[in-house]
Structure 1
Amino acid sequence: MKTLLFITLMFVTTGYTGVIDSFEVTGTVYYKSRQSPMSRVNISVKGTGQNTVTDINGKYKITLANRQAILVVSSVGFKSQEVVVGQKRVIDFYLELDESLVIVEEKVEAPLIIGPSKDKSINRIGYKHSGVPTLGMAKAEYYQGNNQVYYQEPNLRHNTEEYATIHENIFLDPTRKPLSTFSIDVDAASYSNVRRFLRQGRKPPKDAVRIEELVNYFTYDYTEPEGDDPFSVYTELSSAPWNPEHQLLHIGLQGHKIPLENLPPSNLVFLIDVSGSMNSPNKLGLLKSAFKLLTNQLRAQDKVSMVVYAGAAGVVLAPTAGNQKQTILGALGQLQAGGSTAGGQGIKLAYKIAQEQYLEGGNNRVILATDGDFNIGASSNAEMERLIEKEREKGVFLTVLGFGMGNYKDSKMEILADKGNGNYAYIDDIMEAKKVLVNEFGGTLFTIAKDVKIQIEFNPAKVKGYRLIGYENRRLRDEDFNDDKKDAGELGSGHTVTALYEIIPHDSQPHSEYIKSIDPLKYQKQSAGRDTGYSSELLTLKLRYKQPQGTQSRLITSTVGSEPIRLSATSDNFRWSAAVASFGMLLRESEFKGNATYALVENWALGAQGTDRQGYRREFIQLVQSVDLLAQN
């Protein structure tokens, strides 16, 4: 007994540490120049795969088992910091802007190109020269040794990001254009891309701002569907906050949420861009982390294949069951970037495998992850789009995940996802990856209704003019509504869709600056103000949709009354969507922004946060505050 006591005392007095219990380190990450907390900052343990992110208040918590662990704190646009934990249990960080990144053009890391010294034609690896360098030509350097020539491309600043031009919807007169027809859109890529610009202290290009995607980034508290239809329909009418003389119509769809265990089995093909342009932490590095999150959601009945493309395309993972996670993660961990970009070959190979592994009644999908900067080889853009449309008709859909900045090709990726009956998200950090691939897993990858179209007939006795806010690239011809061959948007499990119309009431001022006049018609009677027998109705709302494997659409019809409710009595859904839409109009410098200001947007949003379990709405308010400061300066 004395011997045992002696040994115990010796261990205590000599500080024996053979086994160290795990301990917790907490802290807050601040933006140093403003002394404000930073959300979604990555905290990782150097040399391991362990990481976490700060919450909406900038706070983090991480469990460690090694006092010599090194914490690495990083956020796009800021200088990274490292610290040895030691005996500290509370560690705060103050991040400073990386001045080399907070510019309109991104600094492109130059690749090192190796080739035989006798070969005068050197194959360039890593990125393609495009656009005009804004800081002048830098000097290229050559090194020679071991009969090899090493050519170092000069470091130049380029910005070759591409966005499709948006011609903003205008007000239309229902006596001349009584119908408004469009496809739904559940994509939210524009919001996270805009957030990336604002985090870097930059205002986004106007055409990077798609208002419907800003609005639909957030979920809304709509009633769950009942009956046979896979979604419910919600409407609300009040005054427009930015123009009290106008009305705002809020339309919401709530998709039926299928529990994870009841989702059909998946046949997924990961199509991953590993070309040289992906060689940066916020591209391939973030991509790997994102796909690890997705892999952890897979079940035994799911199967995954993996195709990569650079100078050529190849299979790096044969079809593998979803519960073989170590095999899938091992294939992801081996990915490295380098080479040119044969995207066309990759897409063809991915669809080929998807068809070979096709699951009848299952979820058959290609998931493309890229910065969009790829060529398609011998095929034209039109041919590639036709291929994707053809595969769509065979039941294989396409999801597109965008990464990176500087050479980001937003317009190309949006078109591919649209043609492939899929969705499109921009992943700017690991928290966005978690939102898209974990929190919204079912909605992102499982379609409950396809070819969803909306058509509204406005009553000219009640409406002088109307304008669809956003959805410019989703507009359809009126005759497309009844045409089941015409493609439209998809609704995922549990997804919400929101659309807004700004309406000029018929009893408003006699002449509106937004409605352009024409001469009276000679052969037709103008119906404005004439009693149509439906004096209490503002409009008729019609929706069409198909089942995921169906070919014939189903029609839903409802009406909306003409009496608006007070703005103060509206739901959080209404006021929040109005605040976000107004924010988008300000960023786009829209002629329809009315009396909106960033300060007013902040005020409207503060009063409509609702429960906000994930903190996305509070983060939006912080973005509004940030852009307000940018505008003032």
Structure 2
Amino acid sequence: MFLLILASCEKGGTGDAYFNNTDGLYFEGSGDQYNEIEENPFIETSENAISTFSIDADGGSYANVRRFLQQDNQLPVKDAVRTEELINYFELDYPQQPGEAISLNGEISSSPWSEGHRLLRIGVKGKDIPREELGPSNFVFLIDVSGSMGSEDKLEMLKNGFKTLTDELSDDDRIAIVTYAGESGVLLPSTPGSEKSTIKAAISKLGAGGSTAGAAGITTAYEIAEANFIEHGNNRIVIGTDGDFNVGASSQEELTELIEQKRESGVFITVLGVGRGNLQDGMLEQIANKGNGTYEYIDNVEQMRKVFLYDFKKFYTAAKDVKIQVEFSPKVVQAYRLIGYENRVLNTEDFEDDEKDAGEIGINQNITALYEIIPAVNADYALPAITVDCRYKLPDSDSSLPISLQVFDELTPFSQSSGFMKFSAGVASFGMLLRDSEFKGDTSYEKVLQWLQAAQLHDEHGYKAQLQELVQKSNSL
């Protein structure tokens, strides 16, 4: 069952950018809001040889950065750039281990931006399942129809997207539609996927107006999703909104607490952000983070097709609560730094705690994490440089399963590394340039272009080629 939630609210611009220390939000001059990000520092292996984090399957930051560059003709504000989401926007054909819900791979090469440093890439792949074997779904579409959703790049974009998704569903799937403005309402009760004309007619009726009672809509959506719950099926709420909630529980803390309570229901969530001027990016990313879900931003029609059509399988969970724990050998690694994932870092003891929430990975989805490494003096490269441990749960299980991987540093030059490494490093470096990171080393937009072009990866829909255009645009700005 799919639940779609669309939400919006009226809010004016905020003038110059400033920080709100109470809520931890960064306000862009247009009224868009972002959570502040402080980059991960280097950590001495002698002080702490273990690094633990939750995976992040979101791609929202990349599409939003693209909107800044293409539509606004300006560089993005720093905290709109979440480097791991830039990397994980792109499909990478990582190898899969037969019989496993997820698979691991990794490699080490020299760092292309810091002489003498090394770069570790960890790849995670969710298993692929043929479309005809995905099983029934219970979708609830939760759609924001408040006044601020009235523009073409908001509600109309989402309506087209939800119709596209409806066409992809089987007769055994079910769809309900909940709307919210000043209060929530059920536009369409749970309806079989065989009645596509009825579902799309309901979507066509959607219009914007009023304030935004987001919490009420979320509560109603979960009630419908739970009432139509499919055991061992795909139960998911899809929220479409600019996130500017202004009626009832509306702060980031209040809404994430609500979502944390609801995630125990076994219902997953997809959060779709739209529009500009009052986009609550930080809040939407955290709602997805806390609610067993993912966050995507839709900036144009092609992105709408990507989310609803090309990446359709990401609406299905391959594994949940996926945690990565990396142990660095002090005899090989002097210090290390996790690139990105700042709001996904976990404590060491969280790794084996099955009560601790972590990220989800979709069917056939890939996740990448990069560490920059300072090698130990007189390093013993006969030893494994790192051990990667991973714990994950199957979608309908409360107990985690372990897998692990050892990676040796074979002193591979970056120029001889895999296309996966070249591409991921290029995207990561692009993110550090956009953030003007203190860790960007001697990189440049020209070098990023060289690394991306050298990767030579499959690019069915042209997204990797478009990335090169964005790098060139950033250089000109």
The verdict on a shared fold, with TM-score over 0.5 as the criterion, is yes
Give 3-state SS (helix, strand or coil) of 1:192's partner.
helix
Query: Equivalents in 2 of 1:333, 1:236: separation in Å?
Result: 49
- If each structure's helix is expressed as a fraction of its own residues, which one has the higher value? 2
- Distance apart, 1:133 and its partner CA: 8.3
1:489 maps onto 2:353 in alignment: no
Equivalent residues of 1:249, 1:502 under 8 A apart: yes
Separation in structure 2 between the aligned mates of residue 566 and residue 326 of structure 1, nearest angstrom = 57
After TM superposition, the structure 1 = structure 2 runs for residues 96-111 of structure 1, keeping only pairs within 5 Å, are: none
1:377 paired residue among 248, 251, 262: 248
1:295 aligned counterpart, secondary structure: helix
For 2:84, the aligned partner's letter is E
Verify the 8 A CA contact 1:126 1:279 in the aligned structure 2: no
Maintained 8 Å contact 1:461/1:535: no
Looking at structure 2, the residues matched to 380 and 405 of structure 1 have their Cα atoms a distance apart, in angstroms, of: 19
What does the per-residue CA deviation read over 1:157-203, in whole Å, with 9 as the maximum and x for residues that have no partner? 96111101001011100000111000001100000000000002111
Q: Distance in 2 between matches of 1:364 and 1:230?
A: 18
Conserved? CA contact 2:171–2:192, under 8 Å = yes
8 Å Cα contact 1:232-1:255 kept in structure 2: yes
String of CA shifts for 1:113-163, please: whole Å, max 9, x gaps: xxxxxxxxxxxx9723462489xxxxxxxxxxxxxxxxxxxxxx9611110
Residue of structure 1 equivalent to 2:394: 547
Task: Answer yes or no: is 1:427 the counterpart of 2:304.
Answer: no
1:372-521 residue pairs with structure 2 within 5 A? Answer: 372-377=243-248, 381-443=252-314, 445-507=315-377
User: Is 2:423 the counterpart of 1:576?
Assistant: yes
8 A contact 1:286–1:430 mirrored in 2: yes
Report the Cα distance in structure 2 between the residues aligned to 1:272 and 1:202, rounded to whole angstroms: 30
Matching residue's letter, 2:353: D
Q: Among 223, 245, 260, which residue is 1:352 paired with?
A: 223
Residue in 2 that maps onto 1:333: 204
Residue pairs, 1:106-505, within 5 angstroms = 127-129=10-12, 131-132=14-15, 159-199=30-70, 200-227=72-99, 229-377=100-248, 381-443=252-314, 445-505=315-375
Give the TM-score normalised by the residue count of structure 1: 0.70
Checking the alignment, whether the CA contact within 8 Å between 2:63 and 2:297 is kept in structure 1 is: yes
Residue 332 of structure 2 aligns with an amino acid whose one-letter code is K
* SS of residue in 2 equivalent to 1:402: strand
Find the counterpart in structure 1 of residue 414 from structure 2.
567
1:607 lines up with 2:457 in the alignment: no
Paired AA for residue 189 in structure 1: G
For residue 244 of structure 1, report the CA deviation from its aligned partner.
2.9
Larger RCO (CA within 8 A; separation ≥ 6): 2
Contact kept in structure 1, 2:121 and 2:369, CA below 8 Å: yes
Residues 464, 506 of structure 1: 8 Å contact kept: yes
Q: Which residue pairs with 1:91 in the alignment?
A: none
Q: Tell me which of 437, 442, 452 is aligned to 1:595.
A: 442
Q: Which runs of 5+ in 1 are unaligned?
A: 1-124, 135-156, 509-528
Q: Match for residue 5 of structure 2?
A: none
CA shift at 1:535, angstroms? 5.0
Q: Which amino acid aligns with 2:128?
A: K
How many residue pairs match? The answer is 459
Q: Distance in 2 between matches of 1:555 and 1:218?
A: 26
Superposed displacement of residue 434, structure 1: 1.1
Question: Is contact 2:138-2:225 (8 Å) kept?
Answer: yes
Tell me the distance in 2 between the aligned counterparts of 1:373 and 1:182.
29
TM-score (norm 2): 0.93
Q: Is the 8 A contact 2:429 2:440 kept in 1?
A: yes
Q: Percent identity?
A: 50
AA at the equivalent of 1:464: Q
Q: Distance in 1 between matches of 2:29 and 2:472?
A: 29
- Is the alpha carbon distance of 1:322 and 1:268 closer, same or farther for their aligned partners in structure 2, counting shifts above 3 Å? same
Q: After TM superposition, list the pairs within 5 Å mapping 1:27-42 onto structure 2.
A: none
- Is contact 2:96-2:102 (8 Å) kept? yes
Contact 2:9/2:243 (<8 A) preserved? no
Contact 1:225-1:255 within 8 A present in 2 as well:
no
Q: CA deviation at 1:560?
A: 1.2
